[in-house]
Chain A
Amino acid sequence: MQNFASEFSRATQLVLTGDPDLWAIVVLSLQVSVCAVLISAVIGMPVGAALAVARFPGRRALIILMNALMGFPPVVVGLLVYLMLSRSGPLGVLELLYTPTAMIIAQTVLVTPIIAALTRQVVELLAEEYSEQLRSLGVSRLASVPTLLWDARLALVTALLAGFGRAIAEVGAVIIVGGNINHVTRVMTTTIALETSKGNLALALALGAILIGIAVAVNAMVSALTLRAEQEGLRHA
């Protein structure tokens, strides 16, 4: 077994001294996952909110399906996106395979069900609370979706963070559609997989610790923003 302490200090040093290769990998990881989460939010939040307030046959089944898709295996998503983007696939002409865009697409497929399902839950509770008021104002169920989403915004931050956690941590999908190409599609998780396969277990573990550090930093930042928004909300009220 290698000396974990020395490898860890080596990895920390790489970050602190601004090793350009490692920083590029960290930045690309954040770009891909943040993009995926934002696109997922644009799709997932309205869908989740609509499912929360609409009443139609099959709604229950759709909600169950959406909840189940939260556990969609990343490797399967990677394969599906690969088959779509391959030159032999229907979208091959777009030449998107082995690009960061392909990785964003794969992570969006993974994250959208999470954000939609969590939004559905948050908005459904809020809609019950508001139902009297909305009815008295004569607002239809679907027309109330933007209002409900806006009022639930602070609770929905948690949905975004859950989605981000899933995106930044997964390796199965991005390694298939990104190809782990150096300086092009190599992100934190695929680097960890690569170092593990080289037998550099301590370095891989140290990179994992850095990845956790990034996740903590992002969560802390969002938490600070949310707290400030809450306080502003109280002052205005």
Chain B
Amino acid sequence: MFRAVFTSALVLFGIVANPAAAEEAFIIVQSTTSTQNSGLLEFILPGFEAETGIEVRVVAVGTGQAIRNARNGDGDVLLVHAKPAEEAFVAEGWGIERRDVMYNDFVIVGPRSDRAHIKGMTDAAAALTAIANVGATFASRADDSGTHQAEMRLWQNAGIDPTAASGTWYRETGSGMGATLNLAAGMGAYALTDRATWLAFANKGDLAVLVEGDPRLFNQYGVILVNPEKHPGVRAAAGQRFIDWLTGPDGQAAIASYRLEGEQLFFPNAR
């Protein structure tokens, strides 16, 4: 019996270990949860893979973590949404060049009872001020993601330091967008979310979009090739091909054609 178990172990290990070693035509893209959870990447990537034979392996984490992983060389392409952090990444030499890919917007969601009376407001900073003034529960990502960085810029605009209230009405979840929305739905809290994740999110509960349309809620996605001079293992040629496709006519058209329940989630704007 033990010999049989051992033999099957070797067979199993062979099966598991081989695909990684044999396949070379793939790239690793460090991206954010919003591009994956919304279904966008699953929709557009088969087109690129069929055209080039290059498999795209997506690691979806928060923008902050994606940038740190890319800095360690654990990815060939970075596709995230925090422009200042992306520009710093390139300026420090970790990435080659940053290109715009697409945009959508952030929205402030909250319970329909809306204790802070922010429904219909178009000034996001004023809405946050109203939430802080009544001490209504607000769920923050607090994970250095692109959405969290956008949220912190808005608090700065409002002239409020919400972290002083951390643990009272300001709840720092330290988790992804989905986990934070689950929490907000569970406790009837306000939250800032990107519209794509929101539309694809299935556990909305009593939450609804309350604030939208402020130009400061603009959410730009950028793409960067990780610098092969910093990390010789980077698959630069295949990575560049992916970037060229994503920012070229085919990729841009694919992004524009993705719809969820009839609604367009991402708007291509590569130049």
Contact = CB atoms under 8 A, between A and B. Distances in A.
B1 A181 contact: no
Contacts of B205: 1
A197 B205 CA distance: 14
Given A87-B72, A197-B176, A32 B203 contact: no
A166 interface: no
A86 B73 contact: yes
A86 B13 CA distance: 22
A197 B37 contact: yes
Contacts of B42: 182
A97 B60 CA distance: 15
Interface string B53-70: 000011110000000010
A182 B45 CA distance: 12
Contacts of B28: 98, 179, 181
A182 B9 contact: no
A86 B17 contact: no
A13 interface: no
A104 interface: yes
B202 interface: yes
A87 B202 contact: no
Interface stretch (B111-119, B177-185, B210-218): B177-185
* Interface residues of B, dominant DSSP: helix
Interface in A172-197: 179-182, 184, 194, 196-197
- B20, B28, B36: residue with the most chain A Cβ atoms closer than 10 Å: B20
A225 B201 CA distance: 45
B99 interface: no
A83 to B, nearest CB: 9
A181 B9 CA distance: 24
Interface residues of A, number: 37
A40 B231 CA distance: 33
A199 B1 contact: no
B50 interface: no
A18 to B, nearest CB: 19
A199 B203 contact: yes
A182 B35 CA distance: 14
Contact of A96 (B20, B59, B69): B20
Contact of A100 (B1, B20, B60): B20
- B16, B181, B201, B205: residue with the most chain A Cβ atoms closer than 10 Å: B16
Interface in A1-58: 1-2, 28, 31-32, 34-35, 38
Contacts of A92: 73, 233
A86 B201 CA distance: 32
A38 B5 contact: yes
Q: Give the bracket for the number of chain B residues in contact with chain A.
A: 35 or more
B33 interface: yes
A199 B178 contact: yes
A181 B19 CA distance: 14
B58 A101 contact: no
A153 interface: yes
Contacts of A201: 182, 202-203
A101 B14 CA distance: 10
Interface in A195-236: 196-201, 225, 229
Contacts of A97: 74
A196 B179 contact: yes
B86 to A, nearest CB: 20
24 contacts: A28-B16, A35-B9, A38-B6, A87-B73, A88-B72, A98-B28, A98-B59, A100-B17, A101-B17, A104-B16, A181-B58, A181-B59, A182-B42, A182-B58, A184-B57, A196-B178, A196-B179, A197-B176, A197-B182, A198-B202, A199-B181, A199-B201, A200-B202, A225-B1
Interface of B: 1-2, 5-6, 9, 12-13, 15-17, 19-20, 28, 33, 36-37, 42, 57-60, 69, 72-74, 176-179, 181-182, 185, 200-205, 231, 233
Name the 7 nearest CB pairs between A and B, nearest first: A197-B178, A87-B73, A199-B203, A179-B59, A99-B20, A199-B202, A38-B9
Given A35-B16, A86-B72, A88-B73, 11 more contacts: A1-B205, A28-B16, A31-B15, A86-B73, A179-B28, A181-B58, A182-B42, A196-B179, A197-B33, A197-B176, A199-B181
